[in-house]
Every structure is written in structure tokens, then in C-alpha cells.
Amino acid sequence: MNNKELISELSKRLRVSQNDISNLLASTVSAFSTAFQQGNDVSLQGFGIFQIRKKNERIIVNPSTNVRQIVPPKLTVIFKMSNTYKEKIKNIIPHGK
């Protein structure tokens, strides 16, 4: 399901115009983004939690040229599903599109 389908599905279910849904969605995404930038976790109950993790710096070697490079540390978002949702989807088979 892509963004368009998501918007139309939500607008159908909530009986709100697609325009408003897309505004709401943009606002949600920006709320997520600001939370992450402050280093906060975001938890969606029943689904999972988004956390910020720091990946340490590391040294890589290009196998063909043997050039060694130091990759700087970085921050990333990870998603951990909640236990209830984990149990729920454990054995289902997605049909695909």
C-alpha cells in the first residue's frame, strides 16, 4: 500500500476529505520528525515503538584497493514491534499485491 492508497483508505473510513487527511498525515510525520530530533522515542500503542539509536563509527576496507576509511558515527531510527502485535502477525501470510 502506498501513500495515495493510504490517504484514500483513511478518508473513506473517517469520512474526511482526502485533502484534510493528507494535511493530518503531513502533520503527523512532522510531529514524528520533531520528536526524533529531540531524541525522544515515539510509541504507538498496540503496534510498536520508534527509537533513536547511535551507530558507532567503524573502519571499512575496500577489498580491491585496500583503502581504509573511517566511517563516522550516525544516528538512526529503529522500529521495534510491540509484543501483542508480534504475536498477532507471527504466522500470517501476506497475499502481496
Partner 1 sequence: MENKKQSIQELVDIIATQTNFTKKNSEEFLKEFVHVLQEYLEKDGFVKVKGLGTFKLVKNEERKSVNVTTGEAIIIPAHNKVSFIPDNAIKEAVNKPYAHLETITVDDDTKNSTIDAQPDNTVREEKSIQDEAKNNSIPNNTVIQQEEPSNNSKKTKKNKKKNPVAIVILLLLFHVAMAVSFYFYKTEIVSFFQRAVTIEENNLPQATIIDNQLSPVSIVADTVVVVETDSMPDTTNIQQPDEIIATYTPELAQNAPIKEYITVNEGSRLTWIAYKAYGHKAFWVYIYDANRNQLKTPNDVKIGMELAIPELDASLVNPNDENCVIKALELAEKYK
- Tell whether residue 70 is a contact of partner 1 (CB under 8 A): yes
Contacts of 31 (CB under 8 A, 6+ apart): none
Q: Kindly report the number of other CB atoms within 10 A of residue 16's CB atom.
A: 13
91 binds partner 1, rule: CB under 8 A: yes
Each residue 14-53 as x (binds partner 1 by CB under 8 A) or -, in order, gives x-x---xx-xxxxxxxxxxxxxxxxxxxxxxxxxxxxxx-
3-class SS at 63? coil
Q: Taking the complex as a whole, how short is the minimal distance between the CB of residue 87 and partner 1, in angstroms?
A: 10
Asked if 86 is part of the footprint of partner 1 (rule: CB under 8 A), the reply reads yes
The distance in angstroms from the start CA to the end CA of the chain is 8
**Residues near partner 1 (CB under 8 A), total:** 74
What is the four-CA torsion angle of 85, 44, 76, 94, rounded to 10 degrees? 40
Residue 54 binds to partner 1 (criterion: CB under 8 A): yes
Copy the grid coordinates of residue 38: 529531540
Q: How far is the CB of 8 from partner 1 (least distance, A)?
A: 11
Provide the minimum distance between the beta carbon of 26 and partner 1 in the complex, in angstroms, as a whole number. 7
